[in-house]
């Protein structure tokens, strides 16, 4: 009897799991599964304690789901990726594994790890990898010159055209196999800092995630275009946490959306959320085409010449939500408290750090990863490089958000601000975005800081810094 091993990574589900389904296709094979925790690698990548807890919770759910299907899940811990390669080789030898099944990860270190595994296992174990965390494989959407797109809009059009030609199929969860595990082994938690997850925001379990997807693809996705930019309204899906660790697949999201709103592919209801799914794909495809994005390098070379300010005090004020700009501070406190931030506000706070404080975007990228429950290298890096005007399809460097007017536009009455900044509860609606102006007229003192930077002056300084960085590039282009 052949022994098939499923190597779980960021695909912690039994439904629509391409590697798991392939391993179970042979009804006579003995199927086992493994998850290898790598705390040192997670620490180097700034994985947040909340995401680590979310992974642990879903590993326990996966453990139960697999046991019900007669599949044993082993969890082991090693320091990093190098050790995981050696451990996997020894595990395959000990369990007499004939074939290894896994779903691709697209980050550079992960791809190198997988290549090392295949090389070490050699001909002894057949390795089969799958493009599971994407709708379409990286490298499959290219320009007429067979190159990866550098701009999102033409990529999106080509992507939708491919979806019209044929949708990626979902696969069913495997049926129960002979020898059901009535009493699966107890799991031992991995050695990594864990932080509680708010189950009201992020209920645990694959079925809970599927339920949340179905709920969102009803009326909320209809209202999404109008409500997605309003942080005081629960108008987004919050499915990113499940997608990040693979409790949901993007195919499940696409099929559920099209089942409820078949016109989504043609620009109708649901197309705005579909566009967000395609942005997720775009950033993953970019990682494969330009691996330097995994190495803290900007996509646009000349932007590496920007002279960033080194100001730990202002960086800390931004991290703690004490900048004196209410919409920025409310957003940062939401992140610090819940591990999640509204998408519009991710753009606002990123722009503030880079364009108002002139602090290196990589400082913000790292801090986000250290806090986010939905931390994902491709999406996080892509978002930060967009905000910093250093990436492909980035906002022009001279486009600088005004944090005050962003608050006035997207949190008109200050409802979101009051939720996260209780010290501003007594400030009238007229002054909620400029509380220092109101405070100056009162005999009382607000327990809230004055703005740590003058936006108009900061904008001038930032434009000068970017323009100075461009000059060497312009001279090189003239040669």
Q: Is 3 helix (H, G, I), strand (E, B) or coil?
A: strand
426 in a labelled binding site: no
156 in a labelled binding site: no
Contact of 113 with 260, CB cutoff 8 Å: no
304 in a labelled binding site: no
376 in a labelled binding site: yes
Contacts of 242 (CB under 8 A, 6+ apart): 202, 209, 212, 248
232 in a labelled binding site: no
Identify the active-site residue in 279, 318, 386, 420. 279
95 in a labelled binding site: no
Contact of 152 with 393, CB cutoff 8 Å: yes
Is 279 catalytic? The answer is yes
Contacts of 373 (CB under 8 A, 6+ apart): 48, 50, 51, 54, 197, 202, 241, 244, 338, 339, 340
CA nearest neighbour of 291 among 354, 376, 381: 381
CA nearest neighbour of 241 among 190, 271, 283, 198: 198
**Helix and strand totals (H; E) in the chain:** 20, 5
Is 56 catalytic? The answer is no
Residue with tokens 């942005």: 279
302 in a labelled binding site: no
Identify the active-site residue in 361, 365, 386, 420. 361
Distances (CA, A) of 4 to 103, 320, 440: 14, 48, 70
374 in a labelled binding site: yes
224 in a labelled binding site: yes
240 in a labelled binding site: yes
Contacts of 267 (CB under 8 A, 6+ apart): none
143 in a labelled binding site: no
Is 420 catalytic? The answer is no
226 in a labelled binding site: no
242 in a labelled binding site: no
Contact of 56 with 194, CB cutoff 8 Å: yes
> How many angstroms separate the first and last alpha carbons of the chain?
67
Identify the active-site residue in 83, 343, 415, 438. 343
282 in a labelled binding site: yes
Identify the active-site residue in 46, 68, 118, 276. 276
Is 384 catalytic? The answer is yes
Contacts 24+ apart (CB under 8 A), 264-269: 265/160, 265/163, 265/164, 269/221, 269/222
Identify the active-site residue in 384, 386, 402, 420. 384
Identify the active-site residue in 290, 308, 436, 438. 308
Distances (CA, A) of 47 to 112, 153, 241, 245, 371: 19, 31, 13, 12, 8
Provide the annotated binding site for FAD: 224, 236-240, 273, 276-283, 374-376
Provide the annotated binding site: 224, 236-240, 273, 276-283, 374-376
Which residues are the active-site residues? 276, 279, 308, 343, 361, 384
């Amino acid at each position: 009897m052949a022994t098939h091993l499923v190597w779980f990574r960021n695909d912690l589900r039994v439904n629509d799991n391409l590697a798991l389904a392939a391993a179970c296709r042979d009804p006579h094979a003995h199927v086992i599964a493994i998850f290898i925790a790598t705390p040192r690698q997670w620490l180097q990548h700034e994985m947040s304690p909340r995401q680590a807890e979310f992974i642990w919770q879903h590993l326990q759910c996966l453990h139960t789901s697999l046991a019900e299907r007669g599949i044993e899940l082993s969890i082991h811990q090693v320091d990093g990726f190098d050790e995981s390669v050696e451990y996997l080789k020894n595990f395959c030898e000990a369990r007499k594994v004939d074939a290894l099944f896994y779903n691709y990860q697209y980050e550079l270190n992960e791809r190198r790890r997988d290549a090392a595994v295949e090389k070490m296992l050699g001909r002894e174990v057949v390795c089969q990898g799958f493009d599971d965390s994407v709708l379409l494989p990286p490298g499959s959407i290219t320009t007429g010159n067979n190159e990866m797109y550098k701009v999102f809009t033409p990529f999106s059009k080509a992507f939708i055209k491919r979806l019209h030609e044929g949708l990626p199929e979902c696969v069913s969860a495997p049926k129960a196999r002979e020898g059901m595990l009535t009493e699966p082994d107890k799991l031992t938690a991995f050695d990594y800092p864990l932080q509680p997850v708010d189950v009201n925001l992020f209920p645990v379990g694959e079925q809970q995630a599927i339920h949340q997807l179905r709920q969102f693809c009803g009326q909320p996705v209809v209202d999404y275009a109008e409500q997605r930019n309003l942080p005081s309204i629960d108008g987004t899906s919050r499915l990113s946490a499940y997608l990040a660790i693979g409790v949901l697949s993007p195919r499940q999201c696409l099929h559920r959306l099209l089942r409820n709103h078949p016109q989504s592919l043609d620009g109708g209801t649901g197309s705005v959320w579909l566009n967000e799914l395609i942005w997720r794909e775009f950033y993953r495809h970019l990682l494969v085409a330009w691996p330097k994005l995994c190495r803290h390098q900007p996509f646009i070379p000349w932007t590496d010449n920007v002279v960033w300010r080194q100001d730990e005090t202002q960086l800390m004020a931004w991290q703690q939500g004490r900048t004196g700009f209410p919409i920025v501070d409310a957003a940062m406190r939401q992140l610090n408290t819940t591990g999640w931030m509204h998408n519009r506000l991710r753009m606002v706070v990123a722009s503030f750090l880079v364009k108002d404080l002139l602090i290196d975007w990589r400082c913000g990228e790292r801090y986000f990863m250290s806090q986010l429950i939905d931390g994902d290298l491709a999406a996080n890096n892509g978002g930060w490089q967009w905000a910093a005007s250093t990436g492909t399809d980035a906002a022009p460097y001279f486009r600088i958000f005004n944090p005050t007017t962003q608050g006035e536009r997207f949190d008109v009455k200050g409802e979101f601000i009051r939720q996260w900044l209780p010290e501003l509860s007594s400030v009238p609606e007229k002054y909620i975005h400029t509380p220092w102006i109101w405070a100056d007229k009162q005999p009382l003192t607000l327990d809230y800081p004055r703005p740590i930077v003058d936006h108009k002056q900061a904008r001038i300084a930032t434009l000068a810094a970017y323009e100075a960085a461009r000059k060497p590039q312009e001279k090189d282009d003239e040669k």
